Amino acid sequence: MFEKLDSAKQRFEQVERRMADPEVVSDRKAYEELARERASLEEVVLAYGRYLDLERQHTEAREMLSSEADSEMQEFLRAEAETLQAAVAEQADRLKLLLLPRDSRADKNVIVEIRAGTGGDEAAIFAGDLYRMYQRYAEKHGWKVEPLSASPSEIGGFKEVIFSVRGNEVWPGMRFESGVHRVQRVPVTESQGRIHTSTATVAILPEAEEVDVQIDPADLKIDVFRSTGPGGQSVNTTDSAVRVTHKPTGMVISCQDEKSQLQNKEKAIRILRARLLEAAIEQQQREEAEQRRRQVGTGERSEKIRTYNFPQGRVTDHRVGLTLHRLESVLEGDLDEVVEALTEDDHARALKEVDQA
């Protein structure tokens, strides 16, 4: 680890010297490239400097303790040395995280797909609740939500709803939401007051740019048809709805929300591109996991990740065993505590893997 840190520090200093060179300053492209490299190195170099400073303070405290005769001063120095030792260990863990390979999806926007699962009409209503929850969550973080495709249920909610979320730090904030979400409550359609369990599935896909996934137009089959609403009633009088089939994979995406055939086609291809990128990433991760011969869970979206229990007013995330007794605020988009717990757990797992490597 320290070889990498020393190398990063040396490279950071080299980059700073080059950025001060008048020839580089006059070359805008070269200067911008160095500025980006400097920015990518700065956090780890500053954290390394903090680590070295804490380690120096810890060494000085221990040296003073070994030469101190006064018992009261010894007690003070002993406590100071223990505090600094804990700070050194904490900073070392931070450095390990900073040295991990950067998630290629970290800066990406996402496409969210919510589908009603088991539970009939109640599942569709719950899918609508989740859609509203993510809309509120996005608003709190200043992210923009754009509907891409929706299949409304006759009684309310959605059989399926797909939308994009764009903004700063979207992927880190949304990436843990993939999986089966379970709700326990008395359905609005239930007259006997019995508690039912329904589910909805959520998929979080990093939105792919054209540079990430190249799609050959020859691989696409484009069909147009007339848009329909709940119950099959006609919505538009023109064939503006679009169905895009990706021949190599068999993926099919339909969009009918826009009145323009071109706009529906563009949205369908955005969804297709995101799904193809996700499939490529999952394949790469499977290969890497097999190569390392480790088991980190199936990662299948069929795994139940969270339960929303209305009678008890609680939300439980089963992956980290976190239970919050404030269901209403969570459904209003107050997800930060859940995301923080999942992020901390993810970091702890990553550190464990580094230590075992």
Q: What is the pLDDT of residue 356?
A: 61
Domain assignment present for residue 155? The answer is yes
Residues 92, 120, single domain; the answer is no
Tell me the two tokens of residue 228. 């329909």
Residues 95, 119, single domain; the answer is no
Q: Are 145 and 161 in contact (CB under 8 A)?
A: no
Mean per-residue pLDDT, 318-325: 95
Residues 140, 76, single domain; the answer is no
Tell me the two tokens of residue 43. 């956090």
Q: How far is CA 269 from the centre of its chain?
A: 22
C-alpha distances in Å from residue 336, one per residue of 105, 133, 174, 318, 326:
20, 12, 10, 16, 13
Q: What is the pLDDT of residue 291?
A: 44
Q: Which residue, 99, 125, 141, sits at the end of a domain?
A: 99
Q: Which residue, 99, 122, 147, sits at the end of a domain?
A: 99
Domain assignment present for residue 157? The answer is yes
Residues 72, 150, single domain; the answer is no
Question: How many CA atoms within 13 Å lie on the side-chain side of 199?
Answer: 14
Residues 183, 312, single domain; the answer is yes
Question: Which residue is it, tokens 């500025």?
Answer: 35
pLDDT for 294 beyond 70: no
Q: Which residue, 99, 123, 153, sits at the end of a domain?
A: 99
Residues 14, 125, single domain; the answer is no
Domain assignment present for residue 104? The answer is no
Domain assignment present for residue 219? The answer is yes
C-alpha distances in Å from residue 349, one per residue of 77, 92, 95, 179, 226:
34, 15, 15, 19, 50
pLDDT for 305 beyond 60: yes
Q: Are 189 and 122 in contact (CB under 8 A)?
A: yes
Question: Which residue is it, tokens 């931070």?
Answer: 94
43 CB-near residues (< 8 Å, 6+ apart): 98
Domain assignment present for residue 356? The answer is no
Worst-scoring range by mean pLDDT, 17-21, 103-107, 171-175, 327-331?
103-107
Q: Enter the pTM of the model.
A: 0.66
Domain assignment present for residue 306? The answer is yes
Task: Give the number of domains in the chain.
Answer: 2
What's the CA gap between 186 and 234, in Å, rounded? 33
DSSP bridge pairs for 146:
164
What CATH number did the domain enclosing 191 receive?
Answer: 3.30.70.1660
Domain assignment present for residue 357? The answer is no
What's the CA gap between 74 and 65, in Å, rounded? 6
What's the CA gap between 121 and 200, in Å, rounded? 11
Q: What is the pLDDT of residue 351?
A: 76
The model's confidence at residue 106, banded by pLDDT at 50, 70 and 90, is confident
What's the CA gap between 267 and 106, in Å, rounded? 22
Residues 152, 116, single domain; the answer is yes
Residues 93, 31, single domain; the answer is yes
Q: Which domain holds residue 63?
A: 2-99
Domain assignment present for residue 145? The answer is yes
Residues 42, 122, single domain; the answer is no
Q: What is the pLDDT of residue 170?
A: 93
